[in-house]
Structure 1
């Protein structure tokens, strides 16, 4: 079989829902014609979601501390313990921001922060329970395996005990944070103090087993090889195979397209400012788009594929809707981590809806579990709140919805 015929055969099998191997995925990523690759990936999207709907979310990313002992080389957000620019927010400030988010229509909050040397399971129990008590309508899709491992170590408990306790306190879903690159070589190069990729996946598997689904992410462009990019998604797919085979789920199947385990895969691109890597390596737009398409073909067991317009820009985010993507993610009422490294793309509710509609898709507002809250089939169905805008600050409502509390100095 010639190379072209082999590629055509793999593309057809993937488009039909058949499984492709990591070796075949690498061949597609490096050699498949761009338009044929995108067409095959979009065929998968159309088969999964024949109604043509592309979803978006309204949420707020709230950082409770920038103090971190892990010092990842790509991170521009963290400050070491005792650093004069280190801070931690009191619970009252986090609740204020949650209140603003609810006022703007958010259904989800993402609470994230550094590996603070003093923050064990007890801290997160208090934080999550406070948010749930004040705003029971908010889904807490927060922290990642790295934070869970850190809190368990600080408190001297097992991973499973930590997960069960924070779930009981109100955690609804685990974010894919901290995945970066899962294969050993690139991970050690950019985050030598972080847990291994296998350990990251182990935490996710324990969470899935205990009724918490999650997302999975990947950061492209820090010097990893093409083969390592494919190995990253192979590692995720293997864990998802386990979740699917055991029937894990955290919402009734009839209420959601997603089963338990990983609900969505979200690749994003490394941002080069204000960090130790200094932008020496970055992923190109074509590399990103090709990887999006290969991911849709490769993940026959992950329901949703989300584009990262925040790191690639809105034009590329919209173009990705023709490469197999069915979700544009959040408007992000607040985001401070990636933006500190140079990602300054912003959007608003009307613009995100327009991006979807002008790509010949139907916009739909979703919740954490991809249940549709509103479908905007025509402009007459569109929401009218002009305040729902991306922000890179602590104030989501212009002028501030509530008095801002002072920061607590890092100890």
Structure 2
């Protein structure tokens, strides 16, 4: 007789459409109805295990139990991640590739990023004060695209910036989309990978005059565990894995503006408190608002956890949004309260807007430090350096869209400098 418990199971042939219809809350809704942090379902015609919470995150990021290779659905690979990128590696190959990403997160590298971000904000504000109105989400994407390219040492002709911005945005806006919007993302990735591949070939052939300290040069010359250069396409994917996530910070910038509008008392606090309060405010924006809904992995080998049996090869989803709103972890999780982070212990498994675990050894997003610093600069501009009005508009957002952003993309007008 088995000593294991039976995982609660969602009845039905397949629930992929339910996931699309319910978006960020798909896993959380069932965790609540089953009164369990784990349940079994069927997605894309396969058995899948969904789970959430701190303990679930701890086991999910155990590299002895789960692997990332072949875990992401093809539609996500073809839009968001790209083929053979760091997200799909395991073991020593993953560790070695991840070190390449972490190497650019040095104090000097981050300082350079901050300086570039400030410069791009300054240029954007110069433009905005002459405009009748600004669609913040679209403008923030362009700020982030310019910042990412300059930081990475990637030359972009001025007339190509807007097109590149849209293509990089389409990569993270399209994975969950159906029909034409999804194919926009695929086509965008194909265009950018082709262009990036051409740049990498020029660097390798010595036809591009570029500093050896740039991210583009370092990634183009990166060698794997066997001492081989990455093939051009994979090298292009990894450079894009720097650009795309930085452009995606525009989502958080939009939610910064929304939170300042919905919670004006917080804006007052930010004006008079120190940088520490700005830090916890940003963390609460990242916890409170939707960003990544979940991450996927495959069971590496049979194991038992909490008396539940996991079978090799089973698709497993970890609920990121739900864990960040788990009442077992957070008091009043549906209340926006930056002060909660003054008491936060800093667990890498309870607060996981961009994944959990260790940066160097695990699959926690290498760009999280980048996200925090860019958000700090953006918050400073929206609170201290400009004044603006938010006219009547549809500021609502729905948890079905992945990613979810306010419907109006936040229109601002009457923009003036204050510093």
TM-score (normalised: structure 2)? 0.29
Name the one with the larger helix percent: 2
| TM-score (norm. length: structure 1) | 0.29
